[in-house]
Amino acid sequence: MSDIFGKFDPKSGKRSSGDPLSDLAEATRLTGLGRLEEATALIQRTLTGRSGSQTPTPHRHGAAEPSPALRVREVVETVVRGIAPVLKGLGHRQPAPAPERGGGNAGGPGAFLPRSHAVAAGSRDYKLFVPSSPQAPAPLVVMLHGCTQNPDDFAAGTGMNVLAERLGLFVAYPAQSRSAHPQKCWKWYDPSDQSRESGEPAIIAGITRAIMEAYPIDPARVYIAGMSAGGAAALNIAHAYPDLYAAVGVHSGLAAGCARDLGSALMAMQVGAPGLGTGPNFGAPVANKRIPTIVFHGMEDNTVSVRNADQILAQAEAAGLTASAERFEGASDRFGGHPFTRTRFTDRQGRVVVEDWRIRGAGHAWSGGKPEGSYTDPEGPDASRAMLDFFAEHTLAKSH
């Protein structure tokens, strides 16, 4: 999420955010990948404001100028050492390199298939997990990854395909393209990507419908979930298409329509969206119905403030429901090791329609995830299992 402010220059093919901290964070990531020339060029553009990389490195009078390779390494390592404590304090964590293919279903049964789909709003690639013995008809879960991730990485980190094979359900993983965003973030903060039949919501809905047409999917049991930027996008899409998705899962995300541009996005990430819900025209169109919602958020998340989880609950009108909180202080076979509080909100019929998980000691990472993926916290509780349990309780009412 911290990379949503990256700007891409189509002429130079380079990324620069205009924000020195974000640029230096990206330089750190490039250094970790061994891409020293790119890291140095980004640092030089950040510090000089120039688009080129011709700024010489200062050296002592009379001393021989170091070789280009040595100068590259010295510049990068100096800057990285200087900003590492800052990045740590802000909660940035370097993700494991994301596998480009095969990582999401390594060693498991079922099929993990590459696909692509295009609609009038645009096209995206995606991966589809097809279980070896699907239910008839089967549920479908659409999973939206976070920034810098891809479908294989997200599938590996969440472990969702393993659970899907066991339960006989389909899982789709749309992939954000670098041409749409240089850090592969879903553009949850852009008004053109928040509304029905517009931008990314239209593309994701199109992928969902295409899978429903091609496979024996139960139209009453289609769900959407996401992490970070993907979680915010999932809420936008669920609110834009309440007739398509029966429930939504949000991990470390933000409320639907909580930002209208990059400035308000940064504000929302840091302290929550000011004035959310106070204006009749604020944010993305919200359905005239309560959308079953499950929320996961780490209490130590320094990338997306936990206040955003409160705003998601407010948007789900949790205040009008009966709340029942359970606190878990130790490890358990079912939920995992981190202490957490789970609050269930029930309607007048006694159905749990909103569920809130707050995990103490957890940061900006998928709770209970696998170390094979990036941005995961293997200590739990298991967000993937909890979301599927929640989804199983909700079906979309048939239209008349």
Per-residue confidence (pLDDT) for residue 67, from 0 to 100: 44
**Structural element, H or E, at residue 47:** helix 36-48
State pTM to two decimals: 0.73
**Contacting residues for 284 by C-beta, under 8 A, at least 6 apart:** 194, 195, 236, 239, 240, 256, 257
Cis before 137? omega within 30? yes
d(CA 273, CA 172): 30
H helix runs in 261-326, sequence order: 262-271, 307-315
- Half-sphere exposure (Cβ direction) of 129: Cα atoms closer than 13 Å: 36
Q: Which helix (H) or strand (E) covers residue 212, if one does?
A: helix 199-214
Please give the pLDDT value at position 80.
42
Residues 227 and 154: beta-carbon distance below 8 Å: yes
**According to the model, what pLDDT value does residue 39 have?**
62
What integer pLDDT is reported at residue 289 of this predicted model? 76
Phi/psi at 246 (nearest 5 deg)? -80, -20
Q: Give CA 149 to chain center in angstroms.
A: 8
pLDDT value of residue 322: 95
What pLDDT score was predicted for residue 390?
98
Which amino acid is present at 21? L
What's the confidence (pLDDT) of residue 76? 42
Contact criterion met (CB below 8 Å) for 169 and 135: yes
So what's the pLDDT on residue 108?
Answer: 62
The confidence score (pLDDT) of residue 327 equals: 87
pLDDT of residue 42: 66
Q: What is the DSSP string of 127-141?
A: EEEE-SS--SSEEEE
Domains along the sequence of the chain with CATH: 7-90 (no CATH), 103-392 (3.40.50.1820)
Rounded to whole angstroms, the maximal C-alpha distance in the chain is 85
Q: What is the DSSP letter of 152?
A: H
Q: Mean pLDDT in runs of 10 for the chain (400 residues)?
A: 39 44 58 58 57 38 44 44 39 37 54 96 97 96 97 97 97 96 94 94 98 97 98 96 97 94 91 64 53 97 96 92 88 73 94 96 95 93 96 82
For residues 31 and 35, give the distance between their C-alpha atoms in angstroms, rounded to a whole number: 6
**Residue among 301, 294, 313, 305 nearest 377 (CA):** 301
What's the pLDDT at 189? 93
Which residue's structure tokens are 């359905």? 287
| Residue 299 DSSP one-character state | T
